[in-house]
Amino acid sequence: MEKALETQLANIEKRTGRSVADLIAVVRNSGLEKHGEMRDMLKRDLGMGHGDANVIVHLALHAGGAEGDGPSVVEAVDALYTGPKAALRPIHDAVMTAVEGFGHFEVAPRKTYVSLRRSKQFATLGPATSTRVELGLNMKGVAPTDRLLAEPPGRMCQYKVKLTSVDEVDGELVGWIRRAYESA
């Protein structure tokens, strides 16, 4: 995942002609307080895409470098997989490696999982227990199976897959993730 973020940040610098540090400074010096306002300012004033602007705002609000800032994306993911959940990290990394091949997306850490987004969220990924990672998927028109479990209406994702082994990150799973990614 760290590699995907690094690639995305390098691409942002190429597209904007500005360094990430400069873009973060623009956000922090904007006088704006809400995430959405900051994102929209970057889109409007610098012509940034929605996902790129979201990443920069997230870094401005949560990356290191100013007192009281929260953890970076990498630090937040590391925190998800500590203690009894540490053994699950290879499953997370295998899923993220598969997704990195699809193209541009944003990783937005939450308290207990990460949200994967393009123009909208296409997946969530995080440790559900000390023995299982859950992958939530947003896609429509797919029949549930014993493995691809339909979620009740109103949930954050339409489907979830329970993963207990790196071996379960197979062609079928990657196909579902790609479908969700492409529909976002």
Q: For 73, which DSSP code?
A: H
Q: What is the mean pLDDT of each run of 10 residues along the chain (184 residues)?
A: 75 89 86 86 92 86 50 77 93 92 84 88 95 96 96 91 98 97 92
- For residue 86, the 8-state DSSP code is G
- Of 70, 87, 113, the domain-final residue: 70
Q: CB under 8 Å to 53, separation ≥6 — which residues?
A: 38, 39, 40, 42, 43, 46
Q: Residue type for 150, please?
A: A
The beta-strand segments (E) located in 121-168 are: 121-127, 133-137, 149-150, 159-163
| Co-location of 97 and 58 in the same domain | no
- How far apart are the C-alpha atoms of 156 and 20, rounded to whole Å? 31
- Residue 37 lies in domain: 2-70
pTM for the full predicted model: 0.64
Q: Where are the beta strands (DSSP E) in 50-164?
A: 106-109, 114-117, 121-127, 133-137, 149-150, 159-163
Determine contact, residues 120/106, Cβ cutoff 8 Å.
no
Residue 146 C-alpha from the chain's centroid? 26
91 and 163 share a domain?
yes
Instruction: Based on the fold, state whether residues 83 and 163 are members of the same structural domain.
Output: yes
Per-residue pLDDT, 20:
84
How many structural domains compose the chain? 2
What confidence score (pLDDT) does residue 66 get?
Answer: 39
